[in-house]
Structure 1
């Protein structure tokens, strides 16, 4: 089964040097996931200051600057993995550096056969 590991945290907690170290450590985690046959994809996201939110109401697009939710923790990146069950997905999520200062949400993917590969 596929799982999305959504990494949330306060993007202002890390210095630029700490962020670069986190990217390096995350790359090593991705390599470990790949060696175990779990890795499907991963990427950090740019700052929430670069985000736009889009809503359609009454047939009109409403575009606002920033993320959808104003929260203490923002979505900062993700891993997409393959794991046999939720327990294994949670075990893998514990290896993600962002779990030490933020939160990693583990969500099963709904696999639609109608989507292109």
Structure 2
């Protein structure tokens, strides 16, 4: 089963826990973990995101498109990246998430991916 591991962290916490001189080692720890998951056949995709101030929120209401700059919610923890992984169980997905280096600074939300061919997403005949 696939799981999406969403990485959340505040910019203040990141700056406090990973000073600029340690950033390369922090990034390399993620790349090493990526390689380990890829070699185990458990990594489907992973990406870091640009900072939240580069985001745009798009809403369509009554046929009109509304675009707002910045993150969707006003919160201290922002989405910084993700891992899409294959795991045999919820427990294994949590174990994988715990190995993501960012888990030592922020938090990792682990969510099962709902297959599109099941449930309310099925096309009507």
When normalised by structure 1's length, the TM-score is 0.90
**Structure 2: 5+ residue stretches without partners:** none
The answer to whether 1:40 aligns with 2:58 is no
Alignment of 1:51-62 (within 5 A): 51-62=55-66
The answer to whether 1:105 aligns with 2:95 is no
Structure (1 or 2) with the larger CA radius of gyration: 2
- Is the 1:3–1:106 contact (alpha carbons within 8 Å) kept by the matching residues of 2? yes
**Structure 1: 5+ residue stretches without partners:** none
Counterpart in 2 of 1:75?
Answer: 79
Counterpart in 1 of 2:88?
Answer: 84
- Is the 1:4–1:107 contact (alpha carbons within 8 Å) kept by the matching residues of 2? yes
SS at match of 1:94: helix
Superposition RMSD in Å: 1.5
Q: Which structure features the higher share of helix residues?
A: 2
Q: Deviations over 1:15-48 (max 9, x none)?
A: 3343332221111111111121111110110000
- What displacement does 1:110 show? 1.1
SS at match of 1:71: coil
When normalised by structure 2's length, the TM-score is 0.85
Task: Report the number of matched residues.
Answer: 114
